Amino acid sequence: YAQILRERLRESIHDVQYVEPPFDDSVADTGKEWKSALAKLKFANSYRMEPLKKFQAHSVETKVQQILK
């Protein structure tokens, strides 16, 4: 199971430090849960309609004033 995670996360920036052993669940069920959790994380903030940083007119105005001087 840990080897499967390492292969899937090879191109990721995260490293697998510790993997809990599965209790009564089969490996196939755990893989499905992992994929669904990954999809939830991937699309968790896809509904955002505004940027993280709001537009600030005064910052543009100061830069324009610096250029015009």
- pLDDT tens, position by position, 20-45: 666 555 555 555 565 666 655 555 55
State the chain's mean pLDDT as an integer: 68
Cβ contact 44:34 at 8 Å:
no
CA gap 59, 57 in Å, rounded = 5
**Of 53 and 22, more confident:** 53
Q: Look up the domain containing 26 and give its range.
A: 2-68
Confidence category of residue 64, pLDDT binned at 50, 70, 90: very high
Count of domains for the chain: 1
DSSP secondary-structure letter at 15?
-
Q: List b or e across 35-60, with b for residues whose CB sees 16 or more CB atoms inside 10 angstroms.
A: eeeeeeeeeeeeeeeeeeeeeeeeee
